[in-house]
Chains A and B, each alone.
Chain A
Amino acid sequence: AQKITQTQPGMFVQEKEAVTLDCTYDTSDQSYGLFWYKQPSSGEMIFLIYQGSYDEQNATEGRYSLNFQKARKSANLVISASQLGDSAMYFCAMRERAGNMLTFGGGTRLMVKP
C-alpha cells in the first residue's frame, strides 16, 4: 500500500486565491512527522512546513498552513493568496521513525494563473 498518496497530479489556481493540496498517509506508528516541500523546475527541494503527530494545533508558516486530520490520516497543505511564484511541484512526505528517512508522495504540480 502507498504510504503517501497525493491524488492531484496537477492543479490550477487563480492568482490571489487560496488552494488546498491533498495528502493522505498510512502508518501504524504513533509517532511520526509530516512534511511539505516545494520543488521548482531548478530541482531544489524547499522545506515549507512540518507537522508532528502529537502536535495538537495545525502548523502554520506564513501563507502555508497544514490541515492535519489525524483520524482521517490526512495532512493537506493550504496556500493562501497564491502568487505566480508558487507555481511548482509540491511533495508531501512522512518520517515514521527516528532518523532522516522520508517517504514521499508522487507530488502535485501547481500552476498559478495570472
Chain B
Amino acid sequence: DAGVTQSPTHLIKTRGQHVTLRCSPISGHKSVSWYQQVLGQGPQFIFQYYEKEERGRGNFPDRFSARQFPNYSSELNVNALLLGDSALYLCASSGSGGHSGNTIYFGEGSWLTVV
C-alpha cells in the first residue's frame, strides 16, 4: 500500500508568489494535517482536516490556507511568500480525527525555498 504522498518534493519560489502543496493520505485515512519545519527546529502544526472540515489551526497568518477534497487528499496554499516561509512542509495522515487513532504517518515532505 502506498504511504502518504506529497508533491512537489522540491520547489523554488520568489518572494510575493503563491505556492500550492499537495498531499494524498494513506488509503482509508480520513484525517490530514500539515506541519511546517524550519531548518534546525521541530515541526510546527499548521492545519488539521477531517472529513473535509477544518478541525484545527495553528498559529500561522491568514496567508496560509488549506482544504480537503472528497477523496481526502489535501492542498496547502501559501500566498505572498516571504523568505521566512522557506521550510520543509510535512503532511500527516491518520485514520480518524480522534484519540482512537494511535499512529500518525508522515509523507516525505515538500522542500520550499523562497528567494
Name A residues whose Cβ lies closer than 8 Å to a Cβ of B: 4, 31, 33, 35, 37, 42-47, 50, 52, 91, 93, 95, 97-107
Name B residues whose Cβ lies closer than 8 Å to a Cβ of A: 31-33, 35, 41-45, 48, 50, 55-56, 58, 88, 90, 92, 94, 97-99, 102-109, 111
Are the CB atoms of B43 and A99 closer together than 8 Å? no
Q: Looking at A33, A44, A101, which has the most chain B CB atoms within 10 Å of its CB?
A: A101
Q: Which residues of A contact B108 (CB under 8 A)?
A: 42-44
Compute how far the CA of A103 lies from the CA of B33 in the bound complex, rounded to whole angstroms.
Answer: 12
Number of A-B contacts (CB under 8 A): 77
Interface of B, helix, strand, loop or mixed by DSSP: strand
Chain A's closest residue to B99 (CB) is A98
Q: How far is the CB of A29 from chain B (nearest CB, A)?
A: 10
Chain A's closest residue to B97 (CB) is A99
Are the CB atoms of B42 and A104 closer together than 8 Å? yes
Known: A100-B94, A101-B48. Contact between A47 and B104, CB under 8 A? yes
What are 19 A-B contacts with C-beta separation under 8 Å?
A: A4-B42, A43-B109, A44-B107, A45-B92, A45-B109, A50-B102, A52-B102, A91-B42, A93-B42, A97-B99, A99-B56, A100-B31, A100-B32, A100-B33, A100-B50, A100-B92, A100-B104, A102-B43, A104-B43
